[in-house]
Chain A
């Protein structure tokens, strides 16, 4: 079974600084996709960024970028120029190309300090 591990229950960052959230996963599949979702207090799940396993290039979306290390099964999220609106719970998620069900990590609560 696939597992997703987020080892940082809580993180904090100063406004305008950079923070990196960690995620590791375990799978025997070769075709899979990885995601970071954000859940603010409103509880709405928002897709932040996605990474296809077959792509070597790390995905970027504005201030958000990932460091995808396929051999190490690591998928970290870097948030640059942190803003107060970035404060939320962040979930790392995995889906295989065949199964289609998302498996979530336990989440990292990010606090942005003014």
Chain B
């Protein structure tokens, strides 16, 4: 399985500001995913990030609010823009295992917006 790291692990931000979350993988992967987990809830897919193409966003998520970059096969960033308290969540990145369908997850970023 891949080893995935995320930075920062947690942050407290003021409303109206933006935060960029980094996701680093120890091997090259084709598909990376970004999820949001609101307090006490399950995981919801924000977008799929493939290298060399625009991210594909799920219903209810837009690029202006959650811009994503995928500059190479081992790295991606998710920015949460113009934050409000409703954005307080855990944000997780994941990668698809090569030749399989399961995903492996990073440790998550706990974001609190005040």
Contact = CB atoms under 8 A, between A and B. Distances in A.
Chief secondary structure at chain A's binding surface: loop
A105 B101 contact: no
B45 A102 contact: yes
Nearest to A101: B45
Contacts, number: 49
B105 A45 contact: yes
B102 A50 contact: yes
Contacts of B101: 33, 50, 95, 97, 100
Contacts of B96: 100
Interface residues of A, number: 18
A54 B55 CA distance: 31
Instruction: Classify the secondary structure of B's interface with A.
Output: strand
**Size class of B's contact patch?**
20 to 34
Interface string A41-77: 0111101001000000000000000000000000000
B19 to A, nearest CB: 17
